[in-house]
């Protein structure tokens, strides 16, 4: 039996996202591209004039809003075709054009902040009182004043904008290698006859297969494909880190970590508290590995056994059932929330559902103000895919509420806030399933999915964050980054997390960094998965406990978008990420899952 992926052309349209809701045709997209070019020319007429009058600044902001509204749609539409078929050369060309145009927009509009600084904050705040159209700028000005030491001259800001497109080369090349050029040997079943296609869209499902030989060969062949290109990927990763260091120094930050967190007013202590709390709680993970090994009946637990099913019954969850369970899980957030979600999935085609050949790895939610939220995933009819859908719908609903309630200046929220809504959705759905589905095997499967998600967010991501900090600091010290050095560092960090309970295949474990072709190119992104899941579970506990105001405060957080700093927005919802408490509370949730699993397994 050969399990192969469908071609993109073979996917039913109702199972794809609705790219034509953004533009009705490629011709309309081309017209929009030309409009961006025209509006860029208009924007240039404001350069050197922002300080002449409050009305001029207001006119400029109105033009800027229109420019970004069209540019955002141009960018989203182009990417939607490339992301579902990275081997489509026409789609790749369109995506590349959009990225280049985005770089032009960044460069052309770079004069704004330096000119605002030249005007002066006293005069600007006076204008806010005199010109009603400028009233929305209050938070923007406060933020600019806070960051003014890191805003450079108009010429330097223009240059930093111009390098945006060129600096995407490393991450783009790494992504192309991973999503298009890597060749994975098929996984083999223990019967020696069946083969399974290993691909970005299938690897997660294969790692939950009941057949240990399928899991072993899938994991090894997946890792080996990356190892075959380890030197190229290391060179690309090094380039990405050097770009982070360059930007940090160009903006006069003390470190890449500070450069990543300062724009959103996140204290560096939040990062260090998160990592310290993670390391203190590693014994919870060690206990889980031991319980899993005993349940599987193995003398040794390998990395490819971490998601092995603990019961013979693997729940079959078709997409339609997933939507119903997610809707039921979201019921505490109110009828409006659920109806918007259902309409988006079932009528407006927010989701590109199933895997196909050359589809980009992983899952994500995208879109801009003026479009629907859109979700890319590779659904596999199981609890894991259902949870991924719930997660991405959390992002999408966060975007929806932000876009509906904020002006364009604040319509985008930070990465730090982003992972809260997604993980809260998953927490609520799991709670619903554990309450409504008493079957022992089903309960075990729900906890397995939860542990898999925690493994990614509360084990893999903080480990990658430790890795990321070290490689940034090495470059900042002038030390080289090589494939061997990256693999050795990654292996040592995972060895601490796995302890004595998990067998280490050092080379294959050590190449894990290469399997995140976008995450480690987003400066200190990965630790924010850990803070996000922490805030989410703290919030979910309040909501499920019926704490007065918990739901309204959470919805206010979603609607706030970027109008508040993320730490302050979470404080509005009742969570203080300046302390280790949310991380500690979430480790308590993790420990409760381990306890429940141990009871269900009878150990």
Burial label for 2, CB within 10 Å (0-12, 13-18, 19+), is exposed
Nearest to 500, CA basis, from 290, 212, 284, 275:
290
Contact 42, 79 (CB under 8 A): no
Nearest to 430, CA basis, from 589, 313, 602:
589
Beta-carbon contacts of 318 under 8 Å, excluding residues fewer than 6 positions away, are: 381
Paired sense of beta strands 195-196 and 187-188, if any: antiparallel
Q: How far apart are CA 294 and CA 292, in angstroms?
A: 5
Q: Which of 115, 157, 392, 468 is catalytic?
A: 392
Q: How far apart are CA 324 and CA 343, in angstroms?
A: 12
Q: How far apart are CA 450 and CA 455, in angstroms?
A: 8
Q: How far apart are CA 556 and CA 534, in angstroms?
A: 19
Angle at alpha carbon of residue 39, lines to 150 and 75, rounded to 5° = 75
For the chain, report the end-to-end CA distance as a whole number of angstroms: 37
For the chain, the farthest-separated pair of C-alpha atoms sits apart, in whole angstroms, at 78
Q: How far apart are CA 555 and CA 337, in angstroms?
A: 9
Q: How far apart are CA 575 and CA 571, in angstroms?
A: 5
Paired sense of beta strands 374-376 and 351-352, if any: parallel
Burial label for 430, CB within 10 Å (0-12, 13-18, 19+), is buried
Q: Is 131 a catalytic residue?
A: no
By annotation, the residues acting in catalysis are 392
């Amino acid at each position: 039996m050969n399990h192969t992926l469908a071609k993109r052309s073979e996917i039913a349209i109702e199972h794809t996202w609705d790219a034509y809701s953004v533009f009705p045709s490629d011709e309309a997209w081309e017209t929009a591209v030309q409009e961006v070019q025209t509006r860029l020319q208009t924007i240039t007429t404001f350069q050197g004039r922002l300080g002449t009058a409050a009305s001029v600044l207001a006119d400029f902001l109105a033009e800027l809003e229109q420019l970004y509204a069209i540019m955002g749609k141009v960018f989203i539409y182009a990417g939607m075709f490339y992301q579902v078929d990275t081997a489509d050369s026409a789609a790749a060309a369109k995506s590349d054009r959009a990225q280049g145009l985005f770089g032009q927009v960044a460069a052309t509009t770079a004069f704004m902040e330096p000119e605002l600084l030249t005007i002066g904050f006293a005069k600007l705040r006076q204008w806010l009182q005199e010109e009603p159209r400028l009233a929305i700028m209050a938070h923007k000005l406060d933020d600019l004043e806070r960051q003014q030491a890191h805003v450079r001259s108009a010429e330097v800001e223009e240059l930093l904008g111009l390098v945006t497109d060129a600096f995407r080369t490393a991450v783009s090349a790494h992504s192309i290698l991973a999503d298009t050029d890597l060749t994975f040997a098929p996984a083999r079943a223990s019967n020696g006859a069946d083969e399974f296609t290993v691909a970005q869209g299938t690897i997660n499902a294969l790692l939950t297969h009941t057949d240990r030989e399928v899991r072993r060969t899938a994991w090894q062949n997946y890792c080996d494909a990356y190892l075959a290109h380890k030197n190229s990927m290391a060179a690309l990763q090094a380039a990405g880190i050097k770009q982070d260091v360059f930007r940090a120094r160009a903006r006069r930050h003390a470190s890449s970590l500070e450069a990543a967190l300062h724009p959103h007013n996140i204290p560096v202590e939040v990062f260090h508290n998160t990592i310290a709390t993670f390391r203190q709680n590693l014994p919870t993970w060690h206990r889980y590995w031991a319980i899993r090994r005993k349940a599987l009946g193995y003398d040794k637990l390998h990395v490819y056994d971490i998601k092995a099913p603990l019961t013979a019954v693997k729940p079959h969850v078709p997409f339609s059932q997933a939507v119903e369970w997610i809707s039921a899980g979201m019921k505490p957030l109110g009828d409006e929330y659920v109806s918007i979600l259902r309409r988006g999935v079932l009528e407006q085609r927010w989701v590109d559902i199933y895997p196909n050949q050359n589809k980009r790895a992983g899952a994500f939610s995208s879109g801009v103000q003026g479009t629907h939220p859109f979700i890319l995933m590779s659904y596999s009819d199981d609890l894991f895919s259902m949870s991924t859908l719930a997660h991405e719908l959390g992002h999408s609903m966060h975007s929806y509420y932000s876009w509906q309630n904020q002006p364009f200046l604040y319509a985008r929220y930070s990465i730090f806030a982003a992972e809260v809504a997604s993980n809260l959705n998953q927490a609520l759905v799991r709670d619903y399933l554990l309450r409504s589905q008493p079957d022992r095997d089903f309960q075990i499967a729900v906890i397995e999915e939860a542990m898999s998600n925690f493994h990614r967010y509360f084990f893999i991501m903080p480990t990658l964050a430790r890795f990321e900090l070290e490689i940034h600091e090495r470059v900042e010290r002038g030390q080289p980054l090589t494939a061997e050095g990256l693999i050795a560092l990654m292996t040592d960090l995972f060895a601490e997390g796995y302890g004595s309970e998990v067998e280490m295949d050092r080379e294959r474990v050590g190449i894990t960094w290469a399997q995140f072709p976008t995450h480690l190119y987003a400066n200190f992104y990965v630790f924010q998965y850990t803070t996000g899941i922490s805030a989410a579970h703290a919030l979910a506990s309040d909501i499920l406990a019926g704490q007065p105001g918990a739901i309204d405060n959470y919805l206010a957080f979603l609607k706030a978008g970027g109008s508040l700093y993320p730490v302050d927005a979470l404080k509005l919802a009742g969570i203080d990420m300046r302390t280790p408490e949310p991380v500690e509370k979430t480790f308590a949730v993790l420990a409760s899952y381990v306890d429940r699993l141990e009871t269900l397994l009878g150990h």
